[in-house]
């Protein structure tokens, strides 16, 4: 069956890649495999694409539901890729997904694939992939192609003497949402992650403030008193999944510490600019402002990358609904747009432009526009990739043979760069529109400081007239 062959190929590709890095092979675990298949089935048939089920369950919850005995679980998902090689390449081109594949902590794997021939919903990729990783007791060592049952062992922590003196693995886990999803409250796994990865990544290990979390929630104070460890465990096991605020406030953001906020700071824009915060804090303006003051500023997070006006302008349906309501547009993106695969950056998405903007995507996909679109929807927008970096006009103007071949055909220029120019090492920065304007008074009189118009003039007329481009 195609399904079984595809699953086996993903497992083989994963272990081949790990072998190249000197990492141990992953053994197939039947519990992880069943959980992965269940999630692929669900995404396809219930029309959603997320690590969280519609019933609120997360990767570790699903693994436990199918009998896996530890919450040390990681997960990669994708949709739209038609072959195992394509989806695996897509995962490798995403730092977060690649980190799962290359995580030395994992020792087991399960893969699920579902094909929905008639896929009429919001997500119409037809191909749905789930790759689950775990840390358990391997009952059949070396059985990388044979299902085994999940276990409950924990990673080796013999290097604990390299830890900071005040390191608390539970506090470290509670400081990072991705680690909560991967390891839950498994202290040994969290410690191993810090030693093997977190320290090298420069991750903070003490961002979570248990006292603040307790102070924010009266029910927790009543239950735990001043027990900070119990508060931390609650956040890891329940609070994060419940979307509890680390500050406990809701509604309009307060002005406390507002002097420390950047001019023009908008907590909703901050949330919309950071995908992981939307998943945890939703549209809680007070919690988002508190997060920026407590963590985001220290982490160097962007607080204004989301542009509500650009988002509105990119989608006619939203423009007709919201008009000039920028807050409404921001809330739409946070609550709906990101799940619909709409671009957080706004702008009309052009797959060729997106591919041409990144050499790694050209190498991976060539001129496969469908693959480029799927990569952006699944991975690129969450990696904060721009989809319009490539300047096709400047590329044309910098290469006389292309001017002669294509004239002012920008689409042909982009296609040429992806198919040939990037491999040929062609430059696309030798033409300088500002200098071209400066050289000719008639052009300045005609175009002012419009660099795009100057570039178009050179391609359509200036080159043939022998005008100097620089």
Summarised one tens digit per residue, pLDDT across range 424-468 is 988 777 888 989 999 999 998 888 888 888 999 999 999 999 998
pLDDT given at position 261 = 78
Write down the pLDDT at residue 124.
66
Confidence category of residue 141, pLDDT binned at 50, 70, 90: very low
Residue 45 has pLDDT above 50, yes or no: yes
Q: What Å distances lie between residue 22 and 11, 19, 189, 333, CA to CA?
A: 16, 5, 20, 42
Sheet holding 127-134, edge to edge: 27-28, 108-115, 127-134, 73-79
Q: What is the reported pLDDT for 345?
A: 57
pLDDT, position 458: 93
Rounded to an integer, the average pLDDT of 65-83 is: 86
Work out the mean pLDDT of the chain and round it to a whole number: 80
Region of poorest pLDDT, from 24-33, 286-295, 297-306, 323-332: 297-306
Average pLDDT (240-268) is: 61
At the topology level of CATH, where does 2-153 sit? Answer: Pathogenesis-related Protein p14a (3.40.33)
Range of weakest confidence among 13-22, 266-275, 390-399: 266-275
pLDDT tens sequence across 318-362: 888 888 888 888 998 888 887 776 766 555 568 888 899 999 999
Is it the case that residue 285 has pLDDT exceeding 50?
Answer: yes
Per-residue pLDDT at 222: 80
- CATH 3.40.33.10 residue spans of the chain: 2-153
Angle of helix 84-92 versus helix 369-378 axis, rounded to 10: 50
pLDDT of residue 30: 87
Residue 152 is predicted with a pLDDT of 27
CA separation for the pair 395, 400 (Å, rounded): 10
pLDDT confidence of residue 295: 82
Query: Residue 304: is its pLDDT beyond 60?
Result: yes
pLDDT for position 396: 93
Could you tell me the pLDDT band of residue 111, with boundaries at 50, 70 and 90?
Answer: very high
pLDDT at 133: 94
165 has a pLDDT exceeding 80: no
| pLDDT exceeds cutoff 50 at 153 | no
Q: Which is more confident, 263 or 123? A: 263
Q: How would residue 249 be classed by pLDDT, with cut points 50, 70 and 90?
A: very low
Residue keyed to tokens 């962007």: 302
Predicted pLDDT at 264? 79
Per-residue pLDDT averaged across 231-238, rounded? 88
DSSP codes joined into one string, 293-345: IIIIHHHT--SS---HHHHHHH-HHHHHHHTT-HHHHHHHIIIIITTTT--TT
pLDDT above 80: residue 289: yes
- Between 138 and 175, where is the model more confident? 175
Distance of CA 69 to the CA centre of its chain: 28
Q: What is the pLDDT of residue 15?
A: 92
In the chain, pLDDT over 90 holds for what percent of residues?
20
Sequence length of the chain is 470
Cα separation, 318 vs 327, in Å, equals 12
Which residues are CB-neighbours of 119 under 8 A, at least 6 positions away? Answer: 44, 125, 126
pTM over 0.75: no
Which span out of 58-67, 186-195, 198-207 was modeled with the highest average pLDDT?
A: 58-67
Task: Give how far Cα 407 sits from Cα of 165, 239, 419, 460, Å.
Answer: 65, 60, 18, 6
Residue 447: the pLDDT is 85
């Amino acid at each position: 069956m195609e399904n079984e062959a595809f699953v086996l190929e993903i497992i083989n590709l994963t272990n081949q890649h790990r072998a190249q890095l000197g990492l141990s092979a992953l053994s197939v675990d039947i519990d992880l495999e069943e959980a992965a298949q269940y999630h692929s089935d669900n995404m396809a048939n219930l029309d959603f694409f997320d690590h969280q089920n519609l019933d609120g369950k997360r990767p570790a919850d699903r693994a436990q539901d199918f009998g896996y005995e530890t919450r040390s679980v990681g997960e990669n998902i994708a949709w739209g890729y038609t072959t195992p090689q394509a989806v695996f390449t897509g995962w490798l081109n995403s730092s977060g997904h690649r980190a799962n594949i290359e995580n030395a902590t994992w020792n087991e794997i399960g893969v699920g694939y579902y094909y929905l021939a008639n896929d009429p919903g919001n997500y119409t990729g037809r191909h749905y992939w789930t790759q689950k990783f775990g840390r358990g007791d391997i009952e059949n060592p070396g059985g990388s192609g044979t299902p085994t049952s999940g276990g409950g062992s924990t990673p080796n922590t013999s290097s604990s003497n390299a830890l900071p003196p005040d390191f608390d693995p539970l506090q470290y886990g509670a400081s990072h949402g991705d680690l909560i999803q991967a390891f839950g409250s498994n202290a040994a796994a969290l410690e191993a992650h810090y030693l093997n990865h977190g320290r090298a990544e420069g991750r903070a290990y003490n961002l979570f403030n248990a006292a603040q979390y307790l102070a924010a929630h009266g029910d927790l104070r009543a239950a735990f008193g001043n027990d900070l460890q119990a508060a931390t465990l609650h956040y890891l096991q329940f609070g994060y999944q419940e979307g509890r605020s680390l500050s406990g406030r809701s509604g309009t953001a307060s002005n406390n510490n507002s002097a420390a906020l950047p001019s023009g700071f908008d907590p909703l824009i901050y949330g919309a600019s950071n995908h992981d915060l939307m998943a945890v804090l939703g549209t809680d303006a007070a919690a988002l402002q508190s997060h920026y003051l407590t963590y985001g500023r220290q982490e160097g997070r962007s607080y204004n990358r989301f542009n509500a006006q650009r988002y509105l302008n990119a989608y006619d349906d939203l423009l007709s609904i919201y008009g000039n309501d920028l807050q409404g547009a921001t809330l739409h993106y946070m609550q709906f747009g990101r799940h619909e695969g709409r671009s957080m950056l706004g702008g009309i998405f052009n797959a060729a432009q997106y591919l041409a903007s990144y050499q790694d995507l050209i190498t991976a996909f060539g001129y496969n526009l469908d693959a480029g679109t799927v990569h952006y929807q699944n991975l690129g927008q969450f990696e904060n990739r721009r989809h319009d970096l490539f300047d096709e006009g400047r590329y044309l103007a910098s290469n006389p043979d292309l001017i002669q071949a294509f004239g002012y055909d920008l689409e042909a220029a982009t296609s040429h760069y992806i198919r040939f120019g990037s491999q040929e090492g062609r430059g696309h920065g030798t033409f300088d529109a500002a200098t071209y304007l400066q050289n000719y008074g008639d052009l300045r009189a005609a175009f002012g400081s419009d660099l795009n118009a100057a570039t178009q003039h050179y391609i359509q007329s200036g080159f043939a007239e022998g005008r100097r481009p620089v």
